[in-house]
Structure 1
């Protein structure tokens, strides 16, 4: 068994797709198990090649015997809390696609072999060194390449879900993010949605159940009907199907943007504090447009890179990026 740890979110899973595919190709006869939150299950199915999902919603120390030198703490990492422990012997190979360690490395202690970034505090002196400025896709491809498993960074596509109950050809506006600093102001999203609707776009507003109030506010201020609010009304598989069949996606630096990248749907992605060079779509895909509040492309005026600069990103600049993204599809 090959156990892969990636206990994070939608964008994190999407950026690990080339690495997961490389592991599948490099070990075709082995069971490939992904340790990730259970709610990501529909998206894991769209990745393909993963034999089993091991839920990590309450993950703790490994259930197999661990050498005392591994120093496994009772609670290994703040992002990995508690556990339904998996049963059986330790895996032959464990792959840490979760982080640099030491917590995530120690979670995998006891496996026959650990593929991970070098982390002496966790007792792991094998593997390449971590690079903070590396793109998230390249990071995990480089890790596997170091262990002799070639990975194709362009292999980002997901399987297309079957058509469902949601409409096709819509423009998806996604104003939320679990990180508050990554949110463009709601009133600007509303102004954008109104302008897009005036241009003939069928706009829907997406988000999690916890973002329903935000989505309602954006839709109301944009003059959209309540039926346009899909926040909290879709599971992850349905959201993927919606994006896969969409005309356009406009979102912040969050998972929906990665779905647009995976399905090659024209998108405009609004980046705030985190540079797109680390999490943005590939530069060779012209149908994705990125506006970075801390970069020259934003042209937001004084205060760019601050909260004021992020809020000052003009709606007209986003609309211009929409035109650019859609024009690349028509050419």
Structure 2
């Protein structure tokens, strides 16, 4: 696409460079930026590079995230580009839950009173999120858009199969922000103290952290595979901690039971966000499905082994392989009914079955990567 075409495409804004996509002229006099990104931990982490780019492009601006309570807890426990988190009210397609019209009206009145200069939508295709963003009353708006979504001042097409951090960086480019990092970088915040349950080991042996959960149960590696891996790691003398929220306690406890080793324990449901950050930060390797804790470990600079459905590799897989290994299952149909599982997103058909689509990933190859990364981590610590 030529510069003249881009100028017409983006409402007369001049292209000033190429990032993930076109980087357009910056907006003038931007001192207050708001970013809309609900969803889970992974969804937030995918947006961190875009927010870092926006902060670099507008260094004097404050950046407010409209997110979830979990996002607020994570950003309180880490150093990030975000200055403030405002928790989203329940709203269709933005934050699931029972809407309260009065609460929504009060929220938007508060947001409009803040007089944001730039509002950035990295929440999805825009069917629900673009009208939500427009109600904030910002002077400028940028974001993604499907054909049926309300238009913003500058938009890029939302096509499901795109790496999520790069998608958000493409949106940031519409606001004149060049990439600073291609993937999220976080660090534990000052004053985040590991809880006693994290500190009650002497740390003499490498720690492998496992997370067996995922929002979509089809993305979960079978418990038996995690247990076999945990037992193998324990036999090598590694400590193994299995993590998860309270809804994942049963998964974690079953892994501990099947592994049958004193070196394997469950911390599921026992850690707050600061505790999870503290634990992941001291791990030698984190093993997980395509889920928030694995993405968080990667952002903290911890080596990871990820178990992914092939389609999710496109959207969420780590870009590098020196510290992050990926094992992909090339399943394209539901194991029970044969429906095409590659059709994803809001309008995709979804059968009633929750069969794992990553069950074909073998334990041995995951174990070999864990051993390799533990050796790398140990060597780096000893150097």
TM over 0.5: yes
| Aligned mate of 1:150, from 178, 184, 197 | 178
Q: What whole-Å deviation, never above 9, does each CA across 1:96-151 have from its counterpart, x for those lacking one?
A: 01112121000011322111124563133632222332211111111111331112
**How far apart, in 1, do the equivalents of 2:65 and 2:72 lie?**
10
Q: What whole-Å deviation, never above 9, does each CA across 1:208-228 have from its counterpart, x for those lacking one?
A: 101111111111111145982
Which deviates further from its counterpart, 139-148 or 266-275? Answer: 266-275
Q: What whole-Å deviation, never above 9, does each CA across 1:252-290 have from its counterpart, x for those lacking one?
A: 11011112211222221111253313201122x412111
Q: 1:34·1:54 contact (CA, 8 Å) conserved in 2?
A: yes
**Structure 1 residues 118, 217: closer, same or farther in 2, change over 3 A?**
closer
Q: Does 1:111 align with 2:138?
A: yes
Alpha-carbon offset, residue 308 of structure 1: 7.2
Give the aligned CA root-mean-square deviation in angstroms: 2.6
SS in 2 for 1:15: helix
**Structure 1 residues 213, 54: closer, same or farther in 2, change over 3 A?**
same
**Structure 1 residues 308, 115: closer, same or farther in 2, change over 3 A?**
closer
| Aligned mate of 1:310, from 337, 358, 365 | 358
**Structure 1 residues 16, 231: closer, same or farther in 2, change over 3 A?**
same
**Structure 1 residues 160, 186: closer, same or farther in 2, change over 3 A?**
same
- For structure 1, the 5+ residue unaligned runs are 61-74, 296-302
SS in 2 for 1:127: strand
Q: Does 1:48 align with 2:75?
A: no
Q: 2:323·2:373 contact (CA, 8 Å) conserved in 1?
A: yes
Q: 1:7·1:80 contact (CA, 8 Å) conserved in 2?
A: no
- Corresponding residue of 1:294: 330
- For structure 2, the 5+ residue unaligned runs are 1-31, 332-337, 342-354
1:169-318 equivalence runs, <5 A: 169-225=206-262, 228-272=265-309, 274-283=311-320, 285-294=321-330, 310-318=358-366
**How far apart, in 2, do the equivalents of 1:234 and 1:138 lie?**
31
SS in 2 for 1:128: strand
1:21-60 equivalence runs, <5 A: 21-45=52-76, 46-56=78-88, 58-60=89-91
- Corresponding residue of 2:23: none
Alpha-carbon offset, residue 54 of structure 1: 0.6
Q: What whole-Å deviation, never above 9, does each CA across 1:188-246 have from its counterpart, x for those lacking one?
A: 11111111101111011101101111111111111145982100000112101110111
TM-score (norm 2): 0.73
**How far apart, in 1, do the equivalents of 2:40 and 2:133 lie?**
19
**Structure 1 residues 309, 262: closer, same or farther in 2, change over 3 A?**
closer
Q: 2:39·2:95 contact (CA, 8 Å) conserved in 1?
A: no
| Aligned mate of 2:124, from 60, 75, 99 | 99
Q: What whole-Å deviation, never above 9, does each CA across 1:59-81 have from its counterpart, x for those lacking one?
A: 34xxxxxxxxxxxxxx4657476
**Structure 1 residues 17, 47: closer, same or farther in 2, change over 3 A?**
farther
**How far apart, in 1, do the equivalents of 2:74 and 2:287 lie?**
20
**How far apart, in 2, do the equivalents of 1:96 and 1:309 lie?**
31
Q: How many residue pairs align between the two structures?
A: 307
Q: 1:173·1:204 contact (CA, 8 Å) conserved in 2?
A: yes
**How far apart, in 2, do the equivalents of 1:40 and 1:199 lie?**
36
TM-score (norm 1): 0.84
**How far apart, in 2, do the equivalents of 1:104 and 1:175 lie?**
30
**Structure 1 residues 308, 3: closer, same or farther in 2, change over 3 A?**
closer
**Structure 1 residues 55, 185: closer, same or farther in 2, change over 3 A?**
same
SS in 1 for 2:39: coil
